[in-house]
């Protein structure tokens, strides 16, 4: 059987299909937006699943193309006279296409994994389940293409199936409204876009998808091996059973994956020595890169009275809303990962830390204006303000003027004003003009 499978792999469209899946998947990973997956393993496997929007129709078309092999070679009538049952003859083809789809998909994951292996440390169980469902989705697509291609052995079947498969995946979220969880049952790409640093896919979601895809694959096999209408009608049974079981297993909660957060990924991993620098577990591979610049930022903040002594990664998430504990002796720092899997802007960590020292707790009504944040932070750093991209352009001129005013003041008075600004930020008592007024 192994020898037959090897021959089928070499002489069928399996290897070509595997190559197409691998090339398309790798191209999508690295050419669309590499920052989607460079944070860690969970982000990689979810991004792979998102790109099934292209790979799934490709597998569907590849299966339909393979199904026309006998018709293209004009041997359909010859094979019909062979005493060997049709079901036995298609098993090697099913196996070859399954191996090809699995190999192509896993090659995409391997390429992404080699890119981030130096910095990705956290490997949750879900990062194994998610690509397993992706492999099953591609195998199901190839087998479904084989079945439809056998029933409709026309030259236009393969390209038409590819277009129809893409249209179906894109239409499912609209067809299932307002029950968004149904889209998660029937579409392997739903809610996999733009995974956050602490994203995860609940196990029940993966299980429900696996049940549906396995039953759909079983229906495709029944259609492929059928020689009469009874077996073709019976193929409806696994589809109905799979849909029913998947609906029962899937939590009936809209935005299930979008709202899912892995608490272990958010846990802090800290340096053993002082001053302590902590990052989330998913970013633990970047701790060495963050430590030096973060301690430089803490040294600059040391000019303040009651200066902060620790740096923690800001693990805030807005969907769902979750905020870390706010402490006066801790500065929260956002960690941004670049295209290469390393820290996006190592030279800017100290400046970001100085700005973060004048941030206010969540839901504060009175916060420090951006211009005053910039001026105070850069006075501590000892260099002119540089406006970050997310600030209003008008803030640059105001910040420069305030920074110059601070530079003209005696060091003691400037330190007092900047310290008062930080206290006001922490107590939600900040307001316009606070930095330019002498504290009482």
pLDDT tens-digit readout, 389-436: 545 667 778 888 899 999 999 989 999 999 999 999 999 887 767 776
pLDDT at 387: 65
Specify the pLDDT at position 67.
85
Looking at the fold, whether 98 and 147 belong to one and the same domain comes out as yes
Tokens of 346: 């190592």
Give the Cβ contact number of residue 67 at 10 Å: 25
Whether 226 and 108 map to the same domain: the answer is: yes
In this structure, the answer to whether residues 62 and 165 fall within a common structural domain is yes
412 with 298, same domain? no
* Residues 218, 142 share a domain: yes
> Is residue 427 a part of any domain in this protein?
yes
- Determine the structural domain holding residue 389 and report its residue range: 358-440
Q: Which of 11-25, 67-81, 93-107, 344-358 has the lowest mean pLDDT?
A: 67-81
Average pLDDT over residues 70-82: 48
List Cβ neighbours of 375 (8 Å cut-off, separation of 6 or more): 385, 398, 399, 400, 402, 403, 406, 435
- Decide if 87 is inside a domain: yes
Identify any residues that bridge with 279 across adjacent strands, giving them in sequence order: 269
How do beta strands 330-333 and 268-270 pair? unpaired
pLDDT reported for residue 82? 53
- Reported confidence tier of residue 77, pLDDT bands at 50, 70, 90: very low
CA distances from 153 to 92, 160, 165, 333 (A): 19, 12, 17, 59
Decide if 61 is inside a domain: yes
Both 79 and 209 in a single domain? yes
Residue 43 lies in a domain: yes
The last residue of a domain, from among 219, 249, 279? 249
Domain boundary among the residues 214, 249, 284 is at: 249
| Residue 259 domain-assigned (yes or no) | no
Would you say residue 66 lies in a domain?
yes
Q: Which of 223-232, 268-277, 368-377 has the lowest mean pLDDT?
A: 223-232
Count of domains forming the chain: 3
Same domain, 299 and 364: no
141 shares its domain with 55: yes
Q: Same structural domain for residues 89 and 184?
A: yes
DSSP classification of residue 259: T
How confident is the model at residue 70, as a pLDDT?
Answer: 56
Say what the pLDDT of residue 87 is. 62
| pLDDT given at position 90 | 79
Last residue of a domain, one of 201, 219, 249: 249
**Confidence grade of residue 108 (pLDDT, cut at 50, 70, 90):** very high
Residues 133 and 243 in one domain: yes
Answer whether residue 362 shows pLDDT above 70. yes
Q: Kindly state the average pLDDT of the residues 184-194.
A: 94
Distance CA 380, CA 398 (A): 17
Which of these ranges, 124-138, 274-288, 334-348, has the smallest mean pLDDT? Answer: 334-348
Burial of 180 (0-12, 13-18, 19+ CB in 10 A): middle
Q: Is the model's pLDDT at 71 over the cut of 70? A: no
Ranges assigned E (strand) in 68-198 = none
Across 76-104, average pLDDT? 73
Give pLDDT, residue 355: 93
- Is residue 351 domain-resident? no
Half-sphere exposure of 205 (CA within 13 A, CB side): 27
| 281 and 240 in a common domain | no
Q: Does 78 score more than 70 pLDDT? A: no
Statement to judge: residues 200 and 326 lie in one domain = no
**Residues contacting 169, CB < 8 A, separation 6+:** 52, 53, 56, 57, 187, 189
The average pLDDT across 317-341 equals 92
Evaluate whether residue 157 is within a structural domain.
yes
- Residue 439 pLDDT exceeds 60: no
- On the CB side of 304, how many CA atoms lie within 13 Å of its CA? 26
* Percent above pLDDT 70 for the chain: 90
* pLDDT per residue as tens digits for the range 295-318: 999 999 999 988 999 999 999 998
Q: Is 204 left (phi over 0), alpha (psi -120 to 50) or beta?
A: alpha
């Amino acid at each position: 059987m192994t020898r037959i499978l090897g021959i089928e792999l070499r002489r069928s469209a399996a290897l070509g299909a595997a190559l197409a899946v691998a090339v398309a998947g790798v191209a999508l990973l690295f050419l669309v937006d590499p920052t989607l997956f460079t944070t860690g393993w969970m982000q990689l496997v979810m991004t792979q699943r998102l790109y099934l929007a292209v790979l799934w129709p490709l597998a569907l078309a590849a299966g339909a193309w393979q199904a026309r092999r006998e018709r293209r070679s004009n041997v359909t009538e010859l094979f019909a006279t062979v005493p060997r049952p049709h079901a036995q003859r298609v098993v090697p083809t099913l196996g070859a296409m399954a191996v090809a789809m699995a190999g192509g998909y896993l090659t995409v994951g391997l390429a992404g994994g080699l890119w981030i292996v130096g910095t990705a440390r956290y490997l949750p169980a879900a990062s194994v389940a998610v690509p397993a469902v992706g492999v099953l989705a591609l195998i199901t697509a190839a087998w479904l293409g084989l079945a439809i291609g056998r029933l409709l052995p026309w030259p236009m079947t393969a390209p038409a199936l590819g277009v129809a498969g893409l249209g179906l995946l894109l239409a499912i979220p609209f067809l299932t409204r307002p029950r968004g969880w149904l889209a998660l049952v029937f579409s392997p790409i739903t809610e996999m876009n733009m995974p956050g640093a602490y994203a995860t896919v609940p196990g029940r979601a993966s299980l429900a998808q696996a049940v549906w895809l396995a039953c759909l694959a079983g229906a495709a096999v029944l259609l492929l091996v059928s020689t009469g209408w009874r077996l073709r009608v019976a193929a409806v049974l696994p589809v109905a059973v799979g849909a029913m079981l998947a609906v029962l297993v899937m939590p009936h909660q809209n935005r299930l994956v979008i709202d899912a957060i892995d608490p272990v990924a958010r846990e802090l991993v800290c340096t053993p020595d002082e001053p302590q620098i902590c990052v989330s577990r998913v970013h633990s591979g970047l701790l060495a890169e963050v430590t030096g610049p973060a301690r430089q930022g803490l040294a600059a903040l040391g000019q303040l009275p009651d200066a902060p002594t620790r740096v923690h990664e800001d693990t805030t998430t807005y969907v769902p809303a979750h905020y870390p504990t706010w402490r006066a002796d801790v500065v929260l720092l956002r960690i941004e990962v670049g295209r290469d899997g390393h820290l996006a802007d190592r030279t800017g960590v100290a400046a970001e830390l100085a700005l973060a020292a004048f941030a206010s707790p969540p839901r504060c009504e009175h916060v420090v204006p951006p211009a005053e944040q910039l001026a105070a932070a850069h006075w501590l750093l000892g260099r002119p303000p540089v406006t970050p991209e997310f600030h209003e352009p008008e803030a640059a001129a105001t910040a420069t003027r305030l920074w110059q005013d601070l530079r003209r003041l005696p060091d003691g008075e400037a330190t007092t004003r900047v310290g008062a600004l930080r206290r006001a930020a922490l107590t939600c008592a900040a307001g316009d003009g606070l930095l330019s007024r002498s504290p009482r």
